[in-house]
Amino acid sequence: MKPEMITLKHGDATIKMPASSLARLALASTFAVVFPPTANVEPVAPAAIPAVGEYWPGQGGINGGHVAARGDVPAHYLIFAASDVGDHEWGGRGVEVKGLSKTDGHTNTEVLCNGDDNEHPAANACAEYQADGHHDFYLPAAAELYQGWLNCPEVFAQDCYYWSSSQRSAYYAFFMGFDDGLQTNVAKDYELRVRPVRRFFI
């Protein structure tokens, strides 16, 4: 689910940010006025961001790196699940699913899980995954898997291929190998490895 966005305008300047971030800023500003800083009160340091490839406590997985804003999706961190969820078919071989992207795995997974009568086991396995109280995981798009290979290939198995949620055609979808960075496509009825991912908006 995309976060609710708020647009602020002042003169020629426009700022677009998640509503939750705006609420945090408003609260911080209020407390700064009501409780001005004193000599014996240390400012609260922002939560430490773990190194790329390290587990991010409370976020359900491994820091896969920062992703710049793209289209309607604000900047965020990719959080890869700490483990795979088995080998699954992509599903729906012979059907070209409309509305899929090479970059937006979240939307792809919503389309695959809710869009037609065909089963899409890889996407369903990711949508059902939960960790640290988060239930917003999805099957990563081809570009998101590629970021995983660029940033932290060592957290993925090196002896298999991973499905993406990006489709090549009615019969093929894209996959990624983390031993050498191979990214190409194969028939949707193959069983390949699956790793859920989620977004952490800051």
Q: Residue 140: give the domain boundaries.
A: 55-201
Query: Residue 17: is its pLDDT beyond 70?
Result: no
Tell me the pLDDT of the chain averaged across its residues: 86
Query: Residue 151: is its pLDDT beyond 80?
Result: yes
Domain count, the chain: 2
* CATH number of the domain within which 138 lies: 3.10.100
Among candidate residues 85, 136, 138, 134, the one with its CA nearest the CA of residue 112 = 138
pLDDT of residue 32: 42
Query: Residue 13: is its pLDDT beyond 90?
Result: no
Q: Is residue 44 part of a domain?
A: no
- 111 and 20 in a common domain: no
For 90-138, what is each residue's pLDDT tens digit?
A: 999 999 999 999 999 999 999 999 977 789 999 999 999 999 999 999 9
- 183 and 92 in a common domain: yes
For 29-56, what is each residue's pLDDT tens digit?
A: 444 444 444 333 333 344 689 999 999 9
